[in-house]
Amino acid sequence: MDIGIVGLGLIGGCLGLDFKALGHRVYGVARRSETCTQALSRQMVDTASSDFAALRPCEVVFICTPIATLVPVVADLAQVLAPGTIVTDVGSVKAAVVDKATRHWPQFVGGHPMSGKSEAGLEAAEPGIFRDRPYVITPLPQTDPTAIKTVEQLAQQLGSQLYRCSPAAHDRAVAWISHLPVMVSASLISAALQEPDPAVLTLAQQLASSGFRDTSRVGGGNPELGLMMAQYNRDAVLRSLRQYQQAIATTLTQIEAQDWPALSQQLQAAHQARPHFVPD
Amino acid sequence: MDIGIVGLGLIGGCLGLDFKALGHRVYGVARRSETCTQALSRQMVDTASSDFAALRPCEVVFICTPIATLVPVVADLAQVLAPGTIVTDVGSVKAAVVDKATRHWPQFVGGHPMSGKSEAGLEAAEPGIFRDRPYVITPLPQTDPTAIKTVEQLAQQLGSQLYRCSPAAHDRAVAWISHLPVMVSASLISAALQEPDPAVLTLAQQLASSGFRDTSRVGGGNPELGLMMAQYNRDAVLRSLRQYQQAIATTLTQIEAQDWPALSQQLQAAHQARPHFVPD
Q: Which amino acid is at A238?
A: L
Which residues numbered 74-93 in A keep a CB inside 8 Å of some CB on B?
Answer: none
The mean of the pLDDT values for chain A is: 96
Query: Mind listing the pLDDT tens digit for each residue in A59-84?
Result: 999 999 999 999 999 999 999 999 99
Query: Mind listing the pLDDT tens digit for each residue in A181-215?
Result: 999 999 999 999 999 999 999 999 999 999 999 99
- Residues in CB range of B130: below 8 A, 6 or more apart: B14, B15, B18, B113, B115, B155, B158, B159, B160
The dihedral formed by the CA atoms of B59, B65, B69 and B70, expressed in degrees to the nearest 10:
40
Query: Mind listing the pLDDT tens digit for each residue in A174-186?
Result: 999 999 999 999 9
Greatest distance between any 2 Cα atoms in chain A: 68
When CB atoms are compared, the residue of B203, B231, B237 closest to A163 is B203
Instruction: Tell me whether residues A256 and B247 touch, CB distance under 8 A.
Output: no
Per-residue model confidence (pLDDT) at position B280:
72
How many angstroms separate the CA atoms of B75 and A271, rounded?
35
- Strands, DSSP E only, in A35-160? 47-49, 60-63, 86-89, 108-113, 134-138
Residue B229's CB is within 10 A of a number of other CB atoms, namely 24
Phi and psi dihedrals of B279, rounded to 5? -65, 140
- Helices B95-104, B167-174: crossing angle, 10 deg rounding: 150
Tell me: domain B169-277, CATH 1.10.3660.10, correct? yes
Please give the ipTM for the structure prediction.
0.94
How many angstroms separate the CA atoms of B212 and A34, rounded?
36
CA B248 to chain centre: 27
- Is B257 in CB contact (< 8 Å) with chain A? no
Per-residue model confidence (pLDDT) at position A180:
98
**Nearest residue to A63 (alpha-carbon basis) of A73, A72, A76, A55:** A73
Distance from CA of B95 to the nearest CA of A (A): 14
Topology of the domain comprising A2-165:
Rossmann fold (3.40.50)
How many angstroms separate the CA atoms of B143 and B140, rounded?
5
**Nearest residue to B14 (alpha-carbon basis) of B130, B93, B112, B119:** B130
Instruction: Tell me whether residues A199 and B278 touch, CB distance under 8 A.
Output: no
Residue A103 pLDDT class (50, 70, 90 cuts): very high
Sequence ranges of the domains in chain A: 2-165, 169-277
Element holding A5 (H helix, E strand): strand A2-6
> What are the mean pLDDT values of chain B's consecutive 10-residue runs (280 residues total)?
97 97 98 96 96 97 95 97 97 96 98 87 94 97 97 98 98 98 98 98 97 97 94 98 98 98 98 94
Chain A environment of B117 (Cβ under 8 Å)? none
How many angstroms separate the CA atoms of B39 and B49, rounded?
10
Per-residue model confidence (pLDDT) at position B117:
76
- Helices A180-193, A198-207: crossing angle, 10 deg rounding: 130
Decide: A8 and A28 in contact? Cβ < 8 Å: yes
How many angstroms separate the CA atoms of B256 and B252, rounded?
6
How many angstroms separate the CA atoms of A175 and B86, rounded?
53
CA A57 to chain centre: 28
Q: Which runs of consecutive H residues, i.e. helices, occur in chain B?
A: 10-21, 33-41, 67-77, 95-104, 145-157, 167-174, 180-193, 198-207, 210-216, 223-232, 234-256, 260-277
How many angstroms separate the CA atoms of B245 and B51, rounded?
47
- Strands, DSSP E only, in A90-218? 108-113, 134-138, 161-164
Angle at A90 (CA atoms; ends A85, A94), nearest 5 degrees: 100
C-alpha separations of B146 from B100, B102, B138, B142 in Å: 20, 15, 14, 12
How many angstroms separate the CA atoms of A153 and A160, rounded?
10
- Is A280 in CB contact (< 8 Å) with chain B? no
Instruction: Tell me whether residues B266 and A190 touch, CB distance under 8 A.
Output: yes
Task: Say what the pTM is.
Answer: 0.94
Residue A116 pLDDT class (50, 70, 90 cuts): confident
- Is B166 in CB contact (< 8 Å) with chain A? no
Q: How many CA atoms lie within 13 A of A262 on its CB side?
A: 11
How many angstroms separate the CA atoms of A18 and A131, rounded?
10
The mean of the pLDDT values for chain B is: 96
Query: Mind listing the pLDDT tens digit for each residue in B168-216?
Result: 999 999 999 999 999 999 999 999 999 999 999 999 999 999 999 999 9
